[in-house]
Amino acid sequence: MRILPISGSLRAASSNSRVVAALALLDVPGVSVSVAHGLGDLPHFNPDLDVDPAPPPVEAFRAQVLAADGLILCSPEYAHGVAGVMKNGLDWLVSVIGVYEKRPAIINTAARALHAPAHMRDNLNVMTAGVVEEASITLPHLPDDLSAEAIVADPALAASLTQALEALADAIRADRDAA
């Protein structure tokens, strides 16, 4: 079971990127997590560029998504919207055959951010097999100096993230059993 967590923040000290990195450090039996890279290298989405082959950074990003069984999206909210970096990445996935079968989850790293998760949920429910709500969680405030390693060392945070990974894997297995 391959899970691809995607951070929508390009900030060096990003809380979303630290959570995504923490997911890859967790040891969940039967689940392999590798962090998406290159989101910031994507050109602005332009249907005129959505040809075969697409620009190399787009092909590389799509290959990561297609190789994954499940996605976990972590994005900042800016001005009541999803970070443009994340939305741009999603726009490049809309036309990709195979994305519709993927199962995503949303991990919200900021309890006060209500709009970005809601917007992503809408986007993902149109583009994919549907957000796995059991795997979608909101984390408590993460101090700026809490590294990915420290997140994993925190029993409550580690338990929440582990539960999210397990719930996502369970939903993907259930999809397969039903197919």
Nearer to ligand FMN, 9 or 128 (CB): 9
**Please, which residues have CB within 8 angstroms of residue 117's CB and are 6 or more apart in sequence?**
77, 106, 108, 136, 138
Shortest Å distance, C-beta 88 to ligand FMN: 16
Shortest Å distance, C-beta 81 to ligand FMN: 7
Shortest Å distance, C-beta 10 to ligand FMN: 8
Q: Measuring CA to CA, which residue among 102, 38, 41, 114 is closest to residue 75? A: 114
Nearer to ligand FMN, 14 or 123 (CB): 14
Nearer to ligand FMN, 16 or 64 (CB): 16
Shortest Å distance, C-beta 125 to ligand FMN: 21
Q: Which residues bind ligand FMN (CB under 6 A)?
A: 9, 11, 14-17, 76-80, 109-110, 112-113
Nearer to ligand FMN, 69 or 77 (CB): 77
Omega prior to 5 cis, within 30 of 0: no
Nearer to ligand FMN, 51 or 112 (CB): 112
- Residue 5 has φ and ψ, to the nearest 5°, of -85, 140
Q: Where are the alpha helices (DSSP H) in 26-178?
A: 56-67, 84-93, 115-127, 148-153, 155-178
Shortest Å distance, C-beta 39 to ligand FMN: 12
Can you say whether residue 23 is alpha, beta or left, with left for phi > 0 and alpha for psi between -120 and 50 degrees?
A: alpha
